[in-house]
Every structure is written in C-alpha cells, then in structure tokens.
Amino acid sequence: MAIQLLCNTHLHHHHYYHKMLTSFSSSSSSSSSASSSSSIPFSSSFNKIQRSRHAIFNYNNNFASGITLRRKRNYKSTIVIASSSSNTVSTQHWNSDWKPDKSASPSLSDILWPSAGGFVAMAVLGKMDQMLAYKGLSMTVAPLAAVCAVLFATPSSPGARKYNMFVSQICCAMIGVLALAFLGPGWLARSTGLAASIGFMIFTRSVHPPAAALPILFIDGAKFHHLNFWYALFPGAAGCILLCLIQQVVVYMKDNFKF
C-alpha cells in the first residue's frame, strides 16, 4: 500500500513537470521574444520548487537525526542513573556491614542465659572427656563450641534448625573420612573436604556453619582416625543431642525469667 502511494505521488509530479515543460516549449515556438520573456519566471518557479524539495528533504533528515540523538542521550542518561543507583546501594550495603546493629539493646537476661548455657555445655562435655579418657576420645571439640553459639545465641536462625544441624554434622563428618581415605593427609584433603561440605550443605538446604569444621578436624586429628565412619556419629552428632537438650532449657529460661 505504501509503495503504491509513493508511485502515484511520483507519477503526479512527473505529469506536473511534463505539462510545465510542454507549455514552455509551445510558448517558445510561437515567438522568440515571448519565449525569452516567459523563460525567466518559469526558471525561477522551477528553482523555487527544487529548493523547496531540498529544504523538506533536509528538514526530514535533521528531524530524524535529532530524534536519534535524543534517544542516544536518554539511553546514556538511563545507564548513568542506573549505575549511580547501583553504586549507591552497594555503598550503603558495604557501610551497613561494618556498623553494629541499631536494634534495641538486649536485656541482661538475654545475655546471661545463653552464656550460662555455653558454660554448662562445656562443663558437661568436659566431664564426659574424663570418662572417655581411657579410650583416647574427646568431646570438647571446637565445632561443638560453635554449635553452642548458634543454638543458644540465635535459636531462630536457619543454622539452628535440627534438620540442618544433624544432616550437616553427620554428612560433613563422613566427607572428612572420605577425603582422608582418598587423598591422604595434607592441604588437598583439607581443601577438598571443606569445598565438598559447603557444596553439600547448599545442595541439601541444610547450611550449618559449625559442621564445615568437621572434615578438617578429622584430617588433622590423629586421635579420631581409628573411628573411621563412626566419626559421623561421634563426637559431632552425639554432642549435638546433648546441646539440643541444653538449648531447650536456655530458651525456657529466656522466655520466663527476664530481668
């Protein structure tokens, strides 16, 4: 449709110029004086038409280039605004990470009961160490201290969920046993065990940060090597059962005895 319209417009202009040229030739053939007198206005009118067409063509080109330039400027300004806003958000996030939480200060009871729970937990585990000393076993290991902090200080966090805790404790301990068996003691076994533990916790949605230390504890702790796969249950999982019982007492005391 558009092509047909353009063709009709072109033919209309062609017939118009043809009529003008025909009238000009007929008038020039009648008399030379009339021809010389009429050629001047025809030439001037023809030049005006040509200048008009060129002016319209240049105007259209300038208008199109102006729209393109404005679009480019708007696109660049959008990019600048977006980048500046993202930089602002990242800067605010970076600054907030290095500042203390501005929420309400914890009460004395919120500080005392979790601390008391940690003290009781390590005291009980230490007593169990004395009972198991003749077998060369130990319950007071660093990962269980980290479990105490998670259970007592942040009992509602994802890492304190029982599913996260027991799945990660058991499986990450087994990963440490396999890493030592296949790679031997050294940096490669430690790195592989830690990487596999992190990947496993993310895949199973059971992230429990203290469990990531169990593979390294087994690889570097010669006193645990004779346990083999029993290490998956002791001391990690067995110790967590005791810590869960103490956590229930700590949560009860925090909720009912505030000061």
Alpha carbons 206 and 196: distance in angstroms, whole number:
13
% of residues, the chain, pLDDT over 70: 63
Place of tokens 């909720």: 255
The CA distances from residue 175 to 17, 96, 128, 204, in Å, are 92, 36, 26, 14
User: Lowest-confidence range among 72-81, 129-138, 222-231?
Assistant: 72-81
User: Lowest-confidence range among 46-55, 169-178, 218-227?
Assistant: 46-55
Q: Average the pLDDT over 203-226 and give the result.
A: 93
Q: Average the pLDDT over 6-11 and give the result.
A: 42
Higher pLDDT, 80 or 209: 209
Alpha carbons 257 and 259: distance in angstroms, whole number:
7
User: Lowest-confidence range among 35-39, 103-107, 156-160?
Assistant: 35-39
Q: What pLDDT is recorded for position 207?
A: 95
Q: Are 171 and 200 in contact (CB under 8 A)?
A: yes
Higher pLDDT, 54 or 190: 190
% of residues, the chain, pLDDT over 90: 43
Statement: residue 111 has pLDDT above 60? yes
Q: Are 163 and 206 in contact (CB under 8 A)?
A: yes
pLDDT digits (tens, 9 = 90+) for 175-214: 999 999 999 999 999 999 999 999 999 999 999 999 999 9
pTM score? 0.62
Place of tokens 């393109």: 68
Q: Are 148 and 242 in contact (CB under 8 A)?
A: no
Q: What pLDDT is recorded for position 166?
A: 95
Alpha carbons 25 and 47: distance in angstroms, whole number:
18
Q: What pLDDT is recorded for position 259?
A: 86
Statement: residue 62 has pLDDT above 60? no
Q: Are 42 and 24 in contact (CB under 8 A)?
A: yes
Q: DSSP label at 105?
A: P
Alpha carbons 51 and 58: distance in angstroms, whole number:
10
Alpha carbons 15 and 21: distance in angstroms, whole number:
10
Omega before 114 cis (within 30°)? Answer: no
Helices of type H across the chain: 2-30, 32-97, 108-131, 142-153, 162-183, 187-203, 214-220, 236-256
Statement: residue 4 has pLDDT above 50? no
Task: Measure CA of the first residue to CA of the last residue in the chain; give whole Å.
Answer: 86
Alpha carbons 25 and 34: distance in angstroms, whole number:
11
Q: What pLDDT is recorded for position 101?
A: 73
The CA distances from residue 255 to 110, 149, 151, 155, 252, in Å, are 9, 18, 15, 12, 5
